[in-house]
Amino acid sequence: MSNVASDIVRTRLKRWFEPILEDPGWRSHLVDDQAEQLLAWGMAQVEQTAVRSQNLPDEDAEPLLEKDSTAVRLVMAGINDLMGTIGKEPEFDLVDDIMTRVLKNLRWLTNQPLRPDNLRRVSQFNQARSTEDRTAAFQHLLALIQTDTS
């Protein structure tokens, strides 16, 4: 990657990832180690879009970066919300609703069908959630949102 291209990637990454960092909604239910792992995942996703769009003019790259950074922010917030349900009995099936949103936003981000093992990951998260194993629950969620390129 040339210096100009790497400067473009860095500038776009900073512009589109910084707002995610400033939004407290993605980490309030996470311990520091979990927040760092989720942050690394999110940054990798936005950086990937910045790299893919580095040869595009700003007016063509911005819609892609806006879409993907929004999807990343929503997935991260959904993971945080799911972690916030551990140890609480929701009034209605909030967990399924949040999980559905996470999976929809993941599809929006990747533009691909969900992976076949996602159902197993959801089940594993629900088991860990029911036993209040926060560490296992988070690891299952992190595995759930892994994309082929992350």
The first and second tokens of residue 148, run together, are: 């082929």
Question: What is the average pLDDT across 116-131?
Answer: 93
Let me know: does 149 contact 52? Beta carbons within 8 Å.
no
pTM of the model: 0.92
Question: What is the average pLDDT across 1-8?
Answer: 75
pLDDT of residue 1: 57
3-state helix, strand, coil in the chain (%, to 5): 75, 0, 25
pLDDT of residue 114: 84
pLDDT of residue 150: 45
Q: What is the mean pLDDT of the chain?
A: 92
pLDDT of residue 26: 93
Reported confidence tier of residue 110, pLDDT bands at 50, 70, 90: very high
Per the model's pLDDT, the better-predicted residue between 115 and 82 turns out to be 82
Let me know: does 77 contact 28? Beta carbons within 8 Å.
no
pLDDT of residue 88: 87
Look at residues 22, 106, 23, 110 and name the one whose alpha carbon lies nearest to residue 64: 110
Reported confidence tier of residue 116, pLDDT bands at 50, 70, 90: confident
How many other C-beta atoms are found inside a 10 Å radius of the C-beta of residue 125? 25
